Amino acid sequence: MPHDKASRRPPRGRGRRHLLAATTVIAILGLAALVDCEPLASASALGYVALGDSYTSGDGIPPVAPTAPADCAQSAADYPHLTATALGVNLRDASCAGADSADMTTAQYSDQPPQFSALSLSTNVVSVGIGGNDHSLFSDALIDCGIADGLDFLNVGSPCKAIYGNGFLSDIASDTATISAVIQGIHSRSPIATVLVVGYPDILPQTGRCYPTLPFTTGDTAYLNNLETSLNAMLRGEALANNAVFVDTFSQSIGHDACKSPTIRWVNPIIASGGGVSVHPNPTGAFEMGMALQVALKATGL
């Protein structure tokens, strides 16, 4: 989506759609061992479509989904696949790394058609995890703040907040109509479907910092936390306003942020390990997001 950032951001000679660079995949994950949920009633008759960005597609989590476009870095152990396996539903996973809301109706790559192409009149369930790439929100905020804070060894102030102020929050506010249009677009194409909007898990610690694992001052860690909670609040509001269910993955992930040890965290730090890419869910994070989605689905009575 077009957007003029010149009024609040220094020019940069880069164009990115992924949040941060991918790292080495080192583990193979067995789907059957991850889930232990009672199948939904008449589950085999349910058609489930998953839409979303890299937090949905499980970028970097092994194994790669064999039928997905290579450009999309989609995992066979992303939370849509885990949910479909656990509940015994038929899945069409259209999620794709780097996707933003425009890619619901526009082809993202030559081998990845608009994600809405996966929807049909007979689709029963749709999950959508989108918004973090609109206005390049996550990548710009993390990279810009990392640059602003990178040399602040003494942990002084909030350099990133001082530079960008409310600019990122303004982007979120301006995206409300976009997210509303995505949800309404799903309803119009799949009118019988239950629609679930999946939020983003906690990336940063709620207090303090973990420099240089994540290169932010304490002040800017709080600044970025507020940015993510504001995004999730916007997604929740638009879900409720448009006859959709919001799936909160943030609350349960507090204490499992990227600053925690590898056995505790659900989101990777800058240097990822154990599957998943930088500042994205690791295999445990994808599993936990899937569990949250499954609980929400069961609560709808499906």
**What is the chain's length?**
302
- Known catalytic residue: 54? yes
110: which 2 tokens?
Answer: 């030559």
Could you say which of 18, 81, 135, 280 is catalytic?
280
The catalytic residue among 54, 127, 139, 158 is 54
CA nearest to 231, candidates 17, 33, 53? 53
DSSP-derived secondary structure for the chain: -----TTTS---S----SSS----------HHHH---PPPTTGGG-EEEEEESHHHHTTTPSSBPTTS-GGG--BTTSHHHHHHHHHT-EEEE---TT--GGGGTS-SBTTB--GGGG--TT--EEEEE--SSGGGHHHHHHHHHHHHHTT-TT--S-HHHHHHTTHHHHHHHHTHHHHHHHHHHHHHHSTT-EEEEE-PPP-S-SSS--TTTS---HHHHHHHHHHHHHHHHHHHHHHHHTT-EEE--SGGGTT-STTS-TTT-SB--SS--SSS-TTSB-HHHHHHHHHHHHHHHHHTT-
| CB within 8 Å of 25: residues ≥ 6 apart | 60, 61, 62, 275
Omega of the bond prior to 62 within 30 degrees of 0, cis? no
Question: For this structure, is 135 an active site residue?
Answer: no
Cβ-Cβ contacts under 8 Å for 163 (sequence gap 6 or more):
144, 148
Annotated catalytic residues are 54, 280
